[in-house]
Homo-oligomer: A and B are copies of this chain.
Amino acid sequence: MAPLTPRLVVPIDVKKQPWEQELPLHNRWHPDIPPVADVTEGELFRVEMVDWSGGKVKDDNSADDIKFMAGGIAHYLSGPLRIIDSEGVPASPGDLLAVEICNLGPLPGDEWGYTAIFERENGGGFLTEHFPRARKAIWYFEGIYAYSPQIPGVRFPGLTHPGLVGTAPSVELLNIWNEREKRLSETSEETIKLCEIQEGSAEWHRIANEAARTIPGRENGGNCDIKNLGRGSKVYLPVFVEGANLSMGDMHFSQGDGEISLCGAIEMSGFLELKCEIIRGGMKEYLTPVGPTPLHVSPIFEIGPVEPRFSEWLVFEGISVDEHGRQHFLDASVAYKRAVLNAIEYLSRFGYSKEQVYVLLSCCPCEGRISGIVDSPNAMTTIAIPTAIFDQDIKPKRLNGRPLSGPRLRRLPDLLSCSCDGRLPTTPN
């Protein structure tokens, strides 16, 4: 007679602000952020999470919240959790922490999400030169499916996953991060939330000044934004501090490879049901460092068995020649930009604005692949889009004399824009 339900270790009330939650949230990485709970390996436990913004984005009719979003808040995380074995001994530096994602989903009663384009001046995104204005789409969930009133004719099953799962860095690793990311440094103090430590105290200031932002994925996992870290998957994380101090957040109902519009997944609040195992000495044995120190490691994971299944894909190629015709040498980032731009141009022929497609490719289960990385001078990338997400046939076919594009294809609703935009055309490029 096992416990019949996962133990809730971090509860969330979405009607409250992030700093009003029962257990403190945090939005920076630091070894001294105190754990909020203990978890024993082998037990099934549940963690609830606010969306990355802590509820700042609303289910309303405007992208104003996006336009004026303070990016520095990202991301509000649940945890850290201290992981111990069945005899109470915590995970230790050098261990490997296997975290199985047994289940996940939106929080009951809060089954919606959003995808947005940040204003160029406020964070931008992969194609900010092309789509510089803040836009927003709201997604509603029907069980495994999502649809958006702002992107008609599209509905798909989510490959739901946490954008962010990670362990706390050690002091040494934190120093490495701060050193190598210097040119991006800024005072993070203004936004850090560490509610267990009195805000404004000396200790708070110290941590706030040292702590790392959560934006990038790093050696500890963190904000990997890997869409395949979904239901049934298992991630192996290095342990850098005693107890591992596992944190998580940034739940995504769905995301395309690249998460190109930055706020590009279907962002939501949600829950994770997890099970941990400590592999003693496993970091040393399995995660050989690639870099100047023993800390330059990377997590590995196993894909779960219930990812949505598609059999027909339309694939767009992109080479490392940019949209101005300039050659870049084996640059996969430029090549992926081309692939995405090609896909946007193509799909906009079927009645969508280009911004709609930009947002759609950010969040639908499309696959971005590095197909060739050695055929000098062109890197070759591809973006594969499952055709079944559309309610029309998007494959090329004979035209029989008629041009494809016509009013019958024009889908009128478009993304939400900002109140100050006036009657801005929604597809300016």
A162 to chain B, nearest CB (A): 13
Interface size on A, residues (CB 8 A): 141
Q: How far is the CB of A272 from chain B (nearest CB, A)?
A: 9
Q: Quick check: B372 and A226 within 8 Å, CB to CB?
A: yes
User: Do B375 and A223 have beta carbons less than 8 Å apart?
Assistant: yes
Q: Are B290 and A345 in contact (CB under 8 A)?
A: yes
Q: A296-B321, A319-B216 given as contacts; is B372 within 8 A of A336 (CB)?
A: no
Asked if A332 and B370 make an inter-chain contact with CB atoms under 8 angstroms apart, the answer reads: yes
- Nearest CB of B to A146, in Å: 11
Tell whether A420 is near chain B: CB-to-CB under 8 Å.
no
Q: Is the CB of A227 within 8 A of B371?
A: yes
Q: Which residues of B contact A324 (CB under 8 A)?
A: 291-292
Q: Which of B100, B144, B219, B300 is the one whose CB lies under 8 Å from A103?
A: B144
Q: Is the CB of A225 within 8 A of B375?
A: yes
Q: How far is B307's CA from A138's CA once the two chains are assembled, in angstroms?
A: 27
Which of B6, B218, B282, B341 is the one whose CB lies under 8 Å from A396? B282
Given contacts A184-B377, A307-B309, contact A325 B296 (CB under 8 A): yes
Contact A262 B374 (CB under 8 A): yes
Bound together, the chains give a CA A296 to CA B338 distance in angstroms of 10
The stretch that binds B, out of A25-33, A193-201, A240-248, A381-389, is: A381-389
Among A103, A298, A324: residue with most chain B CB under 10 A:
A298
Residues on B with beta carbons closer than 8 Å to the beta carbon of A409: none
In the assembled complex, A311 has its CB within 8 A of some CB on chain B: yes
Question: Which of these, B300, B379, B397, contacts A315 with CB under 8 Å?
Answer: B300
Check A279/B378 contact, CB under 8 A, given A111-B5, A327-B181, A369-B369: no
Q: Which B residues touch A384, using CB under 8 A?
A: 228, 303
Cβ–Cβ contact B143 & A102, under 8 A: yes
Asked if A153 CB lies within 8 Å of chain B CBs, one says no
Known: A226-B380, A236-B396. A291 touches B325 (CB 8 A): yes
Q: Are A216 and B143 in contact (CB under 8 A)?
A: no
Residue A203 lies at the interface, judged by CB distance under 8 Å to chain B: no
A205 close to chain B: CB less than 8 A: no
Residues of chain B contacted by A376 (CB below 8 angstroms): 184, 215-216
Are A397 and B111 touching (Cβ within 8 A)? no
A1-52, CB < 8 A from B? 1-2, 4-6, 44
| Given A5-B110, A374-B258: A291 and B181 interface contact (C-beta under 8 Å) | no
A219 partner residues in chain B, CB cutoff 8 A:
319
> Contacting chain B: which of A62-70, A76-84, A398-406?
A398-406
- Which are the 7 A-B pairs with shortest beta-carbon distances? A102-B143, A103-B143, A288-B345, A216-B378, A332-B332, A225-B372, A311-B311
Knowing that A287-B346, A290-B338, A336-B373 touch, tell me 18 more A-B residue pairs with CB under 8 angstroms.
Answer: A4-B110, A96-B396, A100-B142, A142-B273, A215-B375, A215-B376, A223-B375, A224-B372, A226-B382, A258-B371, A259-B374, A281-B399, A286-B349, A286-B396, A286-B404, A298-B318, A301-B317, A332-B381
